[in-house]
Chain A
Amino acid sequence: GENVEQHPSTLSVQEGDSAVIKCTYSDSASNYFPWYKQELGKRPQLIIDIRSNVGEKKDQRIAVTLNKTAKHFSLHITETQPEDSAVYFCAATPNSGGGADGLTFGKGTHLIIQP
């Protein structure tokens, strides 16, 4: 099955700086890669996703890049703000619609924004 590795486990950045979280996956059949943000005591919230037919996707201060050859994808947050502090999870799935194995998640990155 799929295996997703996520780094770093903790990331502390100054407010206003950029943050980058990286994930690698093992199953070359995976073609859907979402990112979730989970604040303490809250549900995971889908913040951005990318499919394997594109290499980059942006939504305001958030961007995701995908390198299918190297089997890695990254989350980029620019101009970080205190409300960006949370645990971020990457995930991957074949999403074939007929034999997918659900989302396989990374272990999470605790992002801390220092004022």
Chain B
Amino acid sequence: KAGVTQTPRYLIKTRGQQVTLSCSPISGHRSVSWYQQTPGQGLQFLFEYFSETQRNKGNFPGRFSGRQFSNSRSEMNVSTLELGDSALYLCASSLVLSGEQYFGPGTRLTVT
């Protein structure tokens, strides 16, 4: 099976702009989780989607949002970008809600 894919792999944005990241899970996986990875804070949970519904949410401001489509693909949106949003954004898919998670390669977001 093909692994989790994410697009784009790299992105440079300016403060105040918004960005949309995309994640395609492993075929058959219905749950997609998003994480932010930074050198200072490590890996932090953003949210998890299952059957097009957000099931869990981490401690991030409302500027971070997401959605999941009927084919289980997911998008994450960050509005009004701040310098501190620069990070590697990873998505992970699992067969069931909060099951074993397999990560994509990530999207490296740089905010200038």
Interface residues of B in 29-48 (CB under 8 A from A): 33, 35, 42-48
Contact check: which of A44, A89, A98, A101 meets B58 at CB < 8 Å?
Answer: A101
Contact check: which of A43, A96, A105 meets B42 at CB < 8 Å?
Answer: A105
Q: B48 contacts A46, CB within 8 Å?
A: no
Interface residues of B in 78-112 (CB under 8 A from A): 90, 96-106
A74 interface contact, C-beta 8 A:
no
Q: A43 contacts B56, CB within 8 Å?
A: no
Hey, which chain A residues are within 8 Å of B90, CB to CB?
A: 43-44
Given A93-B98, A102-B58, A43-B104 contact (CB < 8 Å) = yes
Contact check: which of A34, A89, A106 meets B100 at CB < 8 Å?
Answer: A34
A81 interface contact, C-beta 8 A:
no
What's the Cα separation between A95 and B100 when bound, in Å? 10
What's the Cα separation between A36 and B55 when bound, in Å? 23
Contact check: which of A46, A96, A101 meets B102 at CB < 8 Å?
Answer: A46
Q: A34 contacts B101, CB within 8 Å?
A: yes
